[in-house]
Amino acid sequence: MKIISSLTTVLLFLTFVLMAFVVISSKASGGEPNFFGYQLKTVLSGSMEPTFSTGSIIAVKPINNISTINKGDVITFMKDQTNIVTHRIIDVRGSNQSLQYITKGDNNEDPDNEPVLADNVIGEYTGFTIPFLGYLMNFANSKIGSALLLIVPGIVLLIYSGLSIWRALREIDDTKGKQSTEVNS
């Protein structure tokens, strides 16, 4: 019973710490958390299925040398001022300063309308995906989500700790009661 109690306490604490990390990292980076130098992006459409599904979290590695990107690689890029897209490169055109990538979603029939300029490339997909966690990340980025994901695990941890302390005190009282009964007999 003590092992289960200890495991529950550790799991609740780790959940609280993880949620705090996700919320704080999301807010600090402007919406997308960073983890050991990788950007975590939420997949919002099915254009890359079956490579990754809608609602998944993918890890994107920032690119230091644009010349390392080749046909077949999956890149994340700025489509315009507000939209970020992750698609596969189907063709590379130009060189050096005029380098452009023709991209296409794996689930799309046609290539994207506009070529991607090298300057607009944010990073390269690393192959790391966590299905459905993106829904939680989007919720965590909302005001209500941020509050709930920090407050609820904290409250649950406090309640569980309070119950554990109450049980321990009750056991101590029971032990003292038995000892005083034995002494009086």
The token pair at 89 is 């490169």
- Active-site entry in 5, 6, 29, 45: 45
Torsion sign (Cα): 5, 153, 52, 70: negative
Tell me whether residue 45 is one of the annotated catalytic residues.
yes
Q: What is the CA radius of gyration of the chain?
A: 25
Q: Where are the alpha helices (DSSP H) in 29-90?
A: none
The answer to whether residues 22 and 150 touch, using CB atoms and an 8 Å cutoff, is no
Nearest alpha carbon to residue 92 among 63, 64, 121: 121
Name 59's bridge partners: 40
Catalytically active residues are 45
